[in-house]
Amino acid sequence: MISIENITKQYQGVTAVKDLTLSIPSGCLFGFIGPNGAGKTTTIRILAGILVPDAGTVRIAGIDLNTRPEKAKQKIGFIPDRPYLYEKLTGNEFLKFCADIYRVRPKDFIAARDRYLSLFAMQDYADHLIESYSHGMKQRLVMASALIHDPEIIIVDEPMVGLDPAAIRLVKKLFRDLADKGKTVFMSTHTLEIAESICDQVAIIHKGRILTHGTVAELQARAGDSHDRLEDLFLDLTGSGEVP
Ligand SMILES: Nc1ncnc2c1ncn2[C@@H]1O[C@H](COP(=O)(O)OP(=O)(O)OP(=O)(O)O)[C@@H](O)[C@H]1O
């Protein structure tokens, strides 16, 4: 479970996130959507413990991220939009490095590594240097590394960017399966069709504030007959569909 209470973040006078409150239960695949500059990455970086909010509290599985950051981060698997990889390591070495940070036991590491290398069809490349990987392979390695310690909470920023259709299908199924196993998945996305097809709950953020939050069906019902697709509702609420 993720509990966000009244978080606010400013950058040099620009308010990126304003008094944001959300509660995401265990077993929920949560879609966080909003136009460019809405505050999605800022929120995600706060949830991952990379940015400290100016005000407000984040609890990860009941643990205060501010007062007990190490304990809270142990429960998080973070997949950033622009990951940093050590290109001179092999895929295997990078996974081991990440597992060691989280103090994963050797037996558990081998089982998780083999599971994710197989799931992401990377066995043949595991001993190659990361610098030789394609963009999609790097993305898949980052996902494997974020899941290697079997986190309770998965925080993902724009996971589908740059993936081919087969990989997108795989990742959609992976996140759905993780939520079905009781994990909490917090995912930002620009792809409304993905939010619509796999998310249990969706929130739309605009100018740092939550405009609406609920299941896709609830949002559509609230918005009335003309909004039979999430895209219509999104464009209407954020004003992005207006033709100047
Ligand atoms: N490091 C920073 N310094 C100054 N302003 C920033 C910084 N990071 C973000 N901002 C500003 O904060 C606001 C929210 O940005 P953020 O990156 O959180 O939005 P986003 O919803 O993730 O956008 P996108 O979909 O374009 O990635 C924007 O106005 C952005 O210009």
> How many whole angstroms from 89 Cα to the centroid of ligand 1?
31
Q: How far apart are CA 244 and CA 12, in angstroms?
A: 30
For ligand 1, atom 27, which residue shows the shortest CA distance? 36
Check pLDDT > 50 for residue 25. yes
For the segment 20-28, the average pLDDT, to the nearest whole number, is 97
> How many whole angstroms from 105 Cα to the centroid of ligand 1?
38
- Residue 144: the pLDDT is 97
Ligand 1 proximity of 38 Cβ (cutoff 6 Å): yes
Ligand 1 proximity of 238 Cβ (cutoff 6 Å): no
> Six-digit token pair at 243?
């033709």
pTM of this prediction? 0.93
Check pLDDT > 70 for residue 48. yes
- Residue 228: the pLDDT is 67
- Residue 237: the pLDDT is 84
At 58, is the pLDDT very low, low, confident or very high (cuts 50, 70, 90)?
Answer: very high
At 227, is the pLDDT very low, low, confident or very high (cuts 50, 70, 90)?
Answer: low
For the chain, what are the domain ranges?
A: 82-151
Q: Could you give the percent of the chain with pLDDT greater than 70?
A: 96
Higher pLDDT among residues 195 and 16, named by residue: 16
Question: Which atom of ligand 1 lies nearest, measured to the CA of 35?
Answer: 25
Check pLDDT > 70 for residue 107. yes
Q: Of 24, 7, 14, 13, which Cα lies nearest the Cα of 213?
A: 24
Q: What is the mean pLDDT of the chain?
A: 93
Ligand 1 proximity of 189 Cβ (cutoff 6 Å): no
Ligand 1 proximity of 86 Cβ (cutoff 6 Å): no
The partner residues of 157 in beta bridges, in order of sequence, read 188
Q: How far apart are CA 100 and CA 244, in angstroms?
A: 53
Q: Could you give the percent of the chain with pLDDT greater than 90?
A: 77
Ligand 1 proximity of 42 Cβ (cutoff 6 Å): yes
Ligand 1 proximity of 243 Cβ (cutoff 6 Å): no
- Residue 14: the pLDDT is 94
Residue 172 Ramachandran class (φ > 0 left, ψ -120 to 50 alpha, else beta): alpha
For the segment 108-131, the average pLDDT, to the nearest whole number, is 97
Interval 156-167: pLDDT, tens: 998 888 888 998
For ligand 1, atom 29, which residue shows the shortest CA distance? 37
For the segment 222-231, the average pLDDT, to the nearest whole number, is 73
Check pLDDT > 70 for residue 225. no
- Residue 52: the pLDDT is 95
Interval 187-216: pLDDT, tens: 999 888 888 899 999 999 999 999 999 998
- Residue 243: the pLDDT is 43
For the segment 60-86, the average pLDDT, to the nearest whole number, is 94
- Residue 244: the pLDDT is 37
Question: Which atom of ligand 1 lies nearest, measured to the CA of 81?
Answer: 27
Chain Cα centroid distance, residue 132:
26
Ligand 1 proximity of 227 Cβ (cutoff 6 Å): no
CB of 44 closer than 8 Å to CB of 186: yes
